[in-house]
A and B are shown apart, each in its own frame.
Chain A
Amino acid sequence: MLDDFMLRATLAGIGVALAAAPLGCFVVWRRMAYFGDATAHAAVLGVALSLALSISVFAGALVVALAMALVVNGLSGRGYAMDTLLGVLAHSALAFGLVAVSFLSGVRIDLMAYLFGDILAVSRTDLAVIWGGAGLVVALIAWRWSALLIATLNADLAHASGIDPRREQLVLMLALAVTVAVAIKVVGVLLISALLIVPSGAARPLSRSPEMMALIAGVIGAASAIAGLRAALVLDTPAGPTIVCVAAIVFAITGLIPRRQTG
């Protein structure tokens, strides 16, 4: 049943879902959802730059996403509310990116492919980049897991245990930039946040520990990728958005499970 491009697309979707799951949990716990958006929007500028300079889209997006992460980190706590700051940076980066793309005469690029992803066009090289990036993100988060958790719970508790919470935040931003860069091809910049947040949110009512939540989010994300691609093929709908739709339906279903209210 699986044509070759479908197999590659499925593997790409699973790879991104597995990296997005543990990272997405931290994004949810730390209330950084909008930060994921900002990084992703900035990646459009990266796409434009990499096309202009004829370098790989992955590299361009990664560099701009990293720069965005560092700028936000540096500017936070300087008088602007975080959501104002992110709103300004995210949409400015997106606008500058779109304007920059229009200057690229001669190169006729399909902007839609970067905004919404083009998972069916994933090549073998793309697949290697996606799984390489996803592996890096998962390894990084697994290595720092306890330190990230304590820094997420309370910065001062982390300090008292000899852990620098700013360093852990940097680790998360690094992981986020890599995830955004590898996920562009799969779901596009507009839906990356969905892949981070929706499976994690769907996993929350089913989880009793942070590790379990990350694991279940990974399963939900991967299952959504598989089911979404099948549905897209059958219904002839765009693949990336269909994957997100499936995850959203799972979120709605697990959300119906009543939370136990005791104590």
Chain B
Amino acid sequence: MSRVLGIFRFRRKSTPLHALDPRAKFALLVALSAASLALSDAVSLSALLIVEAALLAVARSLREWARSLTGLSSLLILIFVLNFLTLPADRLFVAAAMALRFLCLTTAFSIFFLTTTADELAAALEASGVPREYSMMFTMSLRFVPSLARDLQTVADALKSRGLELEKGGLRERLRNYTYLLVPLIVYELRRSIMVAEALEARGFGAVGKVEPYVALSLRARDLAVIIVSALAACAVIWVVASGAYGTFLDQVRACFPRL
């Protein structure tokens, strides 16, 4: 579990991508996601993945991404197999495309979260007009995701050490045993949220309506460039897909795949 969550955890590094304004990185995320959803063949999606890998390389975060692939692999295989089994025709072609699409989407999000801190994100949200309470709520959730993962592990450890069998046994039995984790986890997180709320109150959160944020976000030339390029690229992809040209391309690719 922590392996998978690892791709969404910020790592402090000094790279051009980390240094971009969060809004620029967000534009990049939107463009990459739009492309992932618009494209539907394994060849274009592989090309997209290569572009994303290049971005990860710029962010010097390839290793974190690669490490989490092992955790994601089970999901990827699941998607591939489900598609393969349930489609009437072109199974291999579509299944491969779906699995790749999933990978492209998660990688796009991973690029964003690996290079953006929770409060950069909050600053971006606030600069875009989101009220402080909501942006705080968002960043708090992100900030506590690793804590939640750790608490889940601790609760599982505590119950296992009281004899609860979570490692062996039939699927149904194990699922039922896992439900025992819910109550202590929920109670613990509720308690934690009260403590966090107390601390926020104690530091005057909500004292005034409009707050002048400590971090002043300003879009520099390179941020604007990234935003414009992302927007243009996304539009280009969507335009190509919507046009007839993509249809013919799809047929050609499909023909290359064994008829399954």
| Mutual binders A and B | no
